Chain A
Amino acid sequence: MTNHWVDIKNANVIIVMGGNAAEAHPCGFKWVTEAKAHNQATLVVIDPRFTRSASVADLYAPVRTGTDIAFLGGVINYLLSKDRIQHEYVKSYTNASFLVAEGFTFEDGLFSGYDAGGRKYDRSTWAYQMGPDGYALVDETLQHPRCVFQLMKQHFSRYTPEAVSNICGTPRETFLKVCEIIATTSVPDRTLTFLYALGWTQHSTGSQIIRTAAMVQLLLGNIGMAGGGVNALRGHSNIQGLTDLGLLSDLLPGYLTLPREQETDFKAYLDKRSIKPLRPGQMSYWQNYPKFHVSLMKSWYGAAATKENNFCFDWLPKLDKVYDILQVFELMAQGQLNGYFCQGFNPLAAVPNKAKLVKALSKLKYLVVIDPLATETSCFWENHGEYHDVDSAKISTEVLRLPSTCFAEENGSLTNSGRWLQWHYQGARPPGEAKADTEIMAGIFLKIRELYRKEGGPFPDAIANLTWNYQIPAAPSPEELAMEYNGKALEDLTDPKDPTKVILKKGQQLDGFGQLKDDGSTACGCWIYSGAWTEKGNLMARRDNSDPSGLGNTLNWGFAWPANRRVLYNRASCDTTGKPWDPKRKLVYWDGAKWAGADVPDLKPDAAPADGMGPFIMQAEGVGRLFALDKMAEGPFPEHYEPFETPIDTNPLHPKVISNPAARVFRGDADEFGKGQQYPYAATTYRLTEHFHYWTKHTRLSSIMQPEQFVEIGEELAREKGIRGGDKVRVWSHRGSIKAVAVVTKRIRPLKVNGKTVHHVGIPIHWGFKGVARKGYLANVLTPFVGDANTQTPEFKSFLVNLEKA
């Protein structure tokens, strides 16, 4: 979230799209209720289904799954053509005025530089025009034909209300009503918040959907504002923490990145990431990359990391490609992986195309599962009849199950969607032989280190030298780990303005990432978490909810990264002179000498407004990007591409380029995509309030609340197929088939799309062959093995099925 949960109460308009907050985030949804009850907020829900969120909304708009970019592109077109944007904000805080390189084009669904064979782009033309001074050229009148504003206007002019209605199936009048509600927030004293979740991310165009929403918000001046922002509601209490700590194959903690195969030179690696400002006077905060990186390496390798050995840069793995979950299972299916460690993860249920997964897991020599529950993955070799029909005798994979604790059985911190780190305490002792994940990992590490020490091997250094100074080496405590992430001084640190003054003594905890050095004198395990455990103690455990501003920015409750800042880009809540756009929602303001206010300012604290430092300090331009340069795989402007399985078998905007041209498709998987003729119904998978993923089917209470697998279909489709509520139906895709009870509902209506009637089939995901709930099929029997072009998040939300009465 750019903002945070409590801040939702400050919104005037709340758009729930690409998510179902009431269903999947009922506790956080209280702030939506609060905004409605005490801020007269309008709630709009845009979804293929009339959801639990829609049941309390002021307006519901149906949309075909996978067409969100078309819908939001239509909103952009509406805002631009009706001139309902926040002009001063757009001019000063976005790259609307920047001139784009002459070579950049968009024709027939493709941007310049496309390589059809490699399914990727040469992105060199996706750039600004540069001046002789090394800075990007701008035209502040926004009239230049090559400026971002004009190109954007032209790009989205195709997304007329008629085109939107034709692609999305949303009735034109309903679409226009939504546009009008959104447009009311283009004035400085009204804000809109977008609440989304996996309904946006789990598409082959997921990242670009979110970008389109960010563009809408930039045009309305709603980023950095209380009650504004683009807010990802994370699907797990600590999934934000997972990405923050870099548990993705190409990341290091704090969104630092692993070097690629060809990046063997330390200086070149750092230079590429220490991004220089693209406009004069801009902060371009990533210039500090070397400080974060070197401090991380000092945290990992201590005295072994020296200036002379480039702080052990050579010890880092160099990636030939990103090893996302689809890539890993592809390799496994090809027999190129021998072993797989699976921790707190149930991939058999959580990765698409179960048939492929079973085939892949069966090729492993060994599988280690670290989990509190007997997951389907750990039992993939068991035969469970129709629900999981495998020949156990033919599977030779050795499965090792290591029981772990669950969150309530240990101390630690969880990082919520709003970036708050909140400390929690053990509530119960773990049962049986269960051990904390840290203890299990430590055990494995110590054993491997011992083997390396004893037997040597080609490359023992990275393991043998890893810092491991825990009181009990076999069981590092959450407290010790948290202090390590925060970081400490390895030498006495002096005040940069007065070198005689020592601000931190050697060994003391850092106050924040502002004190990090690139000379090896500081250690920090995750720079964005620096400040969470200082010499003042564990700030994540703070529980003071006093809120002097009334905006919900409780600065003494827990700790929010970065730097305890609650609303990102909050400098943008003020005009160029440093005066808040909305005097009722004063997050920060320029008091004449410094930035002050109810939040930690997201700017250099003494940067005078007259100096023109932009509010988007992580960007080299200092402004928000309506044009994304070369950062996105499929283009600098979002474009509507159909899901890989589309019920209309075409793209009404450009029939030759139907689906995301830059998405990676493995060879065998393309043959497994179905066509509309055979599989006429648009299917989508989702969660229910009563359950959490594949866990709570193991608990009796949740299973009482939703005991049995079902699919949702509209009354019209049910009538066509002779299905009544409560009947068993069979649903199949090109990859497999499931059976479930039919819930026949008015809440799913057929949509008119490109001259065709499109029915949706809703498929909740929570059932499987383990647990106390009634046995069911893993929903991922049906889903396609393809992901977003940038993140590789699988397209669970849009695919095709057929259906009949079982």
Chain B
Amino acid sequence: MSLQSLDITRRSATTTASPGQRQTTEVAKLIDVTKCIGCKACQVACMEWNDTRDDIGENHGVYDNPADLTANSWTVMRYAEVETDRGLEWLIRKDGCMHCAEPGCLKACPAPGAIVQYRNGIVDFQEGNCIGCGYCITGCPFNIPRLSKKDSKVYKCTLCSDRVAVGLEPACVKTCPTGAIVFGSKEDMIRHAEERIVDLKQRGYAKAGLYDPQGVGGTHVMYVLHHADRPEMYCGLPKDPAIGPLVGVWKGAAKPVASLALGMIAVGAFAHYVANGPNEVDEENEKEHKE
């Protein structure tokens, strides 16, 4: 359910006009990788605020834990040991949704209103409308959304749209102990990044720069990188992300075919219901309900 129905600018698979009642400032989260110490406080804050809990996993021979984004871990720190002309560097990047101005996920999504974009730039999943097809995962140039095995819905960082809607910063920003994550208007964040880049260049990082890739229209989560010329060193941050050609095809010629396919799925689902009856409440849900 959308908490900010008055300022949605774009909805997935919807042809009617979006509500334009309210104008809000374009926001951005700036992650200064050069100030980040990889403490994972942001991962904890994200889970606490959103009430998600991942499994207690295993150590896979690295510091990264959980090992990857999941339907419960909407942000993870990724650690890369890289040799550069400065010697060894430990590049630590907080990974998560970039909140693209031109969101590949939204464009790929066939479920009406399952993915929305607010006027402030946040791209939000409305899981109630999600059909679990996973097209958004294919459509994302950053490989971010994750399908939940529990409910077959797709989850990712909301940029704390619920907090931002009431004038608070995202939980990860609030908790970050070194001020490596900051939040504000996109304009202010770009200015803040420029100051940081001056400092980094003085320290000998000649290629320090801002990551705000134009291939996706710019993003509402941006990075300050010491080596902006080589973003792929930061655990594969794409150099020139763009929406994949398949999404383009889907939105173009193939759309009627796909719509037909969707219709078939709906018919199939109905048939399944008639044949097998409604889903049983599983034990876990029941237990939660009692609590």
Residues of A participating in the B interface, judged by any CB pair closer than 8 Å: 22-23, 26-27, 29-30, 33-34, 36-37, 40, 50, 52-56, 58, 60, 689-690, 700-710, 724-727, 741-747, 772-774
Contact = CB atoms under 8 A, between A and B. Distances in A.
Which of B38, B44, B178 is the most central at the interface, judged by chain A CB atoms within 10 Å of its CB?
B178
A416 to B, nearest CB: 15
Contact of A707 (B44, B59, B88, B92): B59
A12 to B, nearest CB: 14
Given A726-B61, A741-B61, A55 B38 contact: yes
A746 B91 CA distance: 12
Interface string B40-52: 1101100110000
B63 interface: yes
A54 B88 CA distance: 10
A27 B177 CA distance: 5
Contacts of A700: 53, 56
B176 to A, nearest CB: 9
Given A701-B48, A746-B81, A689 B37 contact: yes
8 contacts: A23-B37, A26-B178, A33-B35, A37-B35, A701-B44, A704-B65, A710-B61, A726-B60
A50 B39 contact: no
Interface in B67-114: 81, 83, 87-92
B289 interface: no
Nearest to B43: A705
A33 B44 CA distance: 21
B88 A50 contact: yes
Given A747-B88, A774-B58, 9 more contacts: A23-B39, A33-B178, A37-B35, A52-B37, A700-B53, A703-B56, A704-B47, A704-B57, A773-B56
A1 B262 CA distance: 67
A544 B47 CA distance: 32
Given A33-B179, A40-B202, A710-B59, A704 B35 contact: no
A724 B35 CA distance: 30
A724 B180 CA distance: 33
A706 B81 contact: no
A690 B40 contact: yes
A56 B39 CA distance: 12
Contacts of B91: 55
B170 interface: no
B54 interface: yes
Contact of B58 (A29, A689, A707): A707
A702 B81 CA distance: 24
A725 B62 contact: yes
Contacts of A37: 35, 196, 199
B178 A29 contact: yes
Contact of B90 (A33, A58, A747): A747
B83 to A, nearest CB: 7
A706 B67 CA distance: 10
A29 B53 contact: no
Given A706-B65, A746-B88, A26 B177 contact: yes
Given A37-B35, A746-B88, A707 B65 contact: yes
Contacts of B41: 26
Nearest to B38: A52
A685 B65 CA distance: 21
A795 to B, nearest CB: 27
A93 B59 CA distance: 52
A741 to B, nearest CB: 4
Contact of B37 (A29, A708, A746): A29
Given A55-B89, A743-B63, A22 B56 contact: no
B90 A30 contact: no
B282 interface: no
A454 B154 CA distance: 71
Q: Is the interface of B mostly helix, strand, loop or mixed?
A: loop
Interface string B165-178: 00000000000011
B203 interface: yes
Contact of B56 (A710, A725, A745, A772): A772
A707 B81 contact: no
Top 5 nearest A-B pairs by Cβ distance?
A: A725-B61, A726-B61, A22-B37, A55-B90, A708-B59
A47 B35 CA distance: 20
B145 interface: no
Contact of A774 (B56, B60, B178): B56
B66 interface: yes
Contacts of A36: 199
A725 B62 CA distance: 7
Contact of B179 (A30, A689, A705, A744): A30
Contacts of A707: 56-59, 65
Nearest to B90: A55
Contacts of A22: 37, 39, 178
Contacts of B34: 56
Nearest to B44: A701
Contacts of A40: 199, 202
Nearest to B76: A705
Nearest to B47: A701
A293 B103 CA distance: 71
B289 to A, nearest CB: 22
B66 A704 contact: yes
A759 B194 CA distance: 42
Contacts of B35: 33, 37, 56
A30 B81 contact: no
Q: Which of A22, A27, A700, A705 has the most CB of B within 10 A?
A: A705
Given A27-B177, A33-B35, A52-B37, A704 B56 contact: yes
A20 to B, nearest CB: 10
Contacts of B47: 701, 704
B37 A53 contact: yes
Contacts of A727: 61
Contacts of A708: 57-59
A634 B89 CA distance: 39
Interface in B3-41: 34-41
B151 interface: no
A710 B59 CA distance: 7
A639 to B, nearest CB: 32
A710 B60 CA distance: 9
A724 B60 CA distance: 10
B284 interface: no
A690 B81 CA distance: 19
A490 to B, nearest CB: 46
B163 to A, nearest CB: 19
